[in-house]
Amino acid sequence: MNNFPKLQKKSKAEWDSLVHSKEPVIHLGMASCGKAAGADKVKTVVLNTLKQNKIKAKVVEVGCIGTCYLEPIMDITAHGNPRLSFGNVDEKWAEIILRKYLIEKEHNRNKVLGHFGTIPFNGVPSFYEQPMLKDQVRIVTKNCGIIDPSDIKQYIANEGYVGLSKALEMKPGEIIELIKNAGLRGRGGAGFPTGIKWRTCHDTKSGEKYLICNADEGDPGAFMNRLLIESDPHALLEGMVIAAYAIGVTEAIIYIRAEYPLAIVRLNNAIEQMKEYNLIGNNILGSKFSLHLKLKEGAGAFVCGEETSLIHSIEGKRGMPRTRPPFPAVSGLYGKPTVINNVETLGTVAHIVRNGADWYKQFGVDGNFGTKTFSLVGKIRRSGLIEVPLGTTLRKIIFDIGGGTQKEFKAVQTGGPSGGCIPKELLDTPVTYETLAKVGSIMGSGGLIVMDSDTCIVDLAKYFLDFIQKESCGKCTPCRVGTRHMFEILEKICNGQAEPDYLDKLESLANLVKTTSLCGLGQTAGNPVLTTLRYFRPEYIEHVDGYYCPALVCRSLIEYEVIKGRCTGCQRCVSVCPTGAISGPRSEPHNLDTNKCIKCRACYEICRFDAIAGNAIVITSGKEA
């Protein structure tokens, strides 16, 4: 028997009761970013303040709305007013805001971000008019930061599981055609058409088939999947049940790295709630379809993001790729047909089933329909999780949504360590799978690392190659040996030990590794090198021929000094120098002892008068060093 309509009605009633509660309701952002910013301490202050002032109120934990730079975030609904959001709320401000608003009925304008009502309120704009949010299209992330991720009824009250209920009334083939017609492409990086993958698995004859969600998000600077699961786990789970039904799967697995403890807790809680309401298990919602789901915690190997490596890990083997074909959709887990989709791909499915292919195709551009989530990090004013239509330009993402950089913009790395470094001359590039490939980069899972003039491009390439060569599984020689050699060349360039022909060798080696490696890790390993050589070759040459790092990052190539004519003796640099290398009385020009200086940049970063300069070191025997 399908009890979903009754559950839906009850859930909406409870949600309306919360939204229009006579008691104050306090929502606290409690995803990992909020907790890292001090949300747990803020919650303690909130509970104590309510108790001390004998105020009856409901305290609800929500996830992250995406504006991570504003965490901790606290929302308050009271006095019949719309839900007000307050940002950067520390322990002190939490008490001030609560007392001021709940007792004196005045909101603090210094911290208020906006409201979630439909009409203007007392001079406070809509929260969605925040600079970081106003140009976004929130489909996958629509519930993030709004609902309690631990309460399935709040998800259901906001159109949750409507897609599943509708899907169970359709034939599996109809769902596959719907996803195919919507043009949904895999959001894990390669952009392969989801409907084609599903159709291949569906049509492959087998008594057993599997569905795997790849939640092994391992790119430095990427946290899209983690925040979605922490903030709205049912979005993923509903999509998984629909996908399993369409493909003909009765067993599904979420492969998630153990480094995501909060996401794991919220997934396990959500699955238990699904069992309680017959949304997973036997005869789902009174249908003949059954699905059993389990979590597999990965140890954090980056290579296990590759499909066949992930499969080997689930099977209890070492996470190493195998040659393809056969592809997993034909022969995957335990040799059975297997579909592997990432978190965002599956999180999109229910929206398409609920609203239709034409609705989905109104977003994005031809061949790249829908939206894409990105983690916007690095030297950016407004960091966090964003969701924009595919085809949005890098300029709009970085400057309109992210607020640009404090210092001069230099480049953006897309696609994580396997992606490419794109310069400011290409900021008007629309973000699609094909356009990013054309400029030498990839979409990846959605990491965007922004760099300014203080970033050394050579050091950046070295950082990513260090990561890649350590994460290589070692199965194929080009990746195992080639990435190590690339890293060693970059290390010599940064240390002033490079020969003039090193750049040509580096480029040749990167191309060799790219064309001869077994899996995607090695095939994209050269991207950071190839794009930085392509767009920033003069900076490499300055390192090799001039023995100088213009960004003042490579310690072996620079030496700091105090410019006497600019130094005011404010002693800010003295206070941050960890070795006592800078000295001098207040209000008089300081001195810098190069023998004590460890080149940590602390003085350079804190000086307000440009009185700290980095000069090239005269290298006479660097190549023999």
CATH of residue 214's domain is 3.40.50.11540
Return the percentage of the chain with pLDDT > 70, whole number.
99
CATH of residue 55's domain is 3.40.30.10
Q: Residue 573: give the domain boundaries.
A: 555-621
To the nearest whole number, what is the mean pLDDT of the chain? 95
Q: Which residues pair with 522 in a beta bridge?
A: none
Distance, in Å, from the CA atom of 561 to the CA atom of 546, rounded to the nearest integer, reads 19
Residues 466, 479 within the same domain:
yes
Q: What is the pTM of this model?
A: 0.94
Q: Which residues pair with 369 in a beta bridge?
A: 364
Residue whose pair of structure tokens reads 């992930």 in the numeric block? 310
How remote is the C-alpha of 369 from its chain's centroid? 20
Q: What is the pLDDT of residues 573-605, one digit of tens each?
A: 999 999 999 999 999 999 999 999 999 999 999
Residues 217, 284 within the same domain:
yes
Q: Please tell me whether residue 210 adopts helix, strand or coil conformation.
A: strand
Q: What is the pLDDT of residues 254-309, one digit of tens each?
A: 999 999 999 999 999 999 999 999 999 999 999 999 999 999 999 989 999 999 99
Residues 503, 585 within the same domain:
no
Residues 346, 247 within the same domain:
yes
The answer to whether the beta carbons of residues 464 and 450 sit under 8 Å apart is no
Residues 570, 612 within the same domain:
yes
Distance, in Å, from the CA atom of 181 to the CA atom of 199, rounded to the nearest integer, reads 12
- If pLDDT is split at 50, 70 and 90, which confidence band does 394 have? very high
Residues 386, 291 within the same domain:
no
Provide the number of structural domains found in the chain.
5
Residues 194, 319 within the same domain:
yes
Q: What is the pLDDT of residues 502-561, one digit of tens each?
A: 999 999 999 999 999 999 999 999 999 999 999 999 999 999 999 999 999 999 999 999
Query: Is residue 576 packed enough to be buried (19+ CB in 10 Å), middle (13-18) or exposed (0-12)?
Result: middle
Residues 284, 168 within the same domain:
yes
In a domain, 527, yes or no: yes
620 has pLDDT over 60: no
Q: What is the pLDDT of residues 11-58, one digit of tens each?
A: 999 999 999 999 999 999 999 999 999 999 999 999 999 999 999 999
Residues 66, 81 within the same domain:
yes
Cβ-proximal residues to 3 (8 Å cutoff; 6+ apart), any chain: 277, 278, 285, 286
622 has pLDDT over 50: no
DSSP state of 126: B
What integer pLDDT is reported at residue 367 of this predicted model? Answer: 96
Query: Quick one: average pLDDT of 405-428?
Result: 95
What integer pLDDT is reported at residue 625 of this predicted model? Answer: 35
- Which among 546, 577, 605 is the end of a domain? 546
Residues 428, 470 within the same domain:
no
In a domain, 224, yes or no: yes
Residues 508, 581 within the same domain:
no
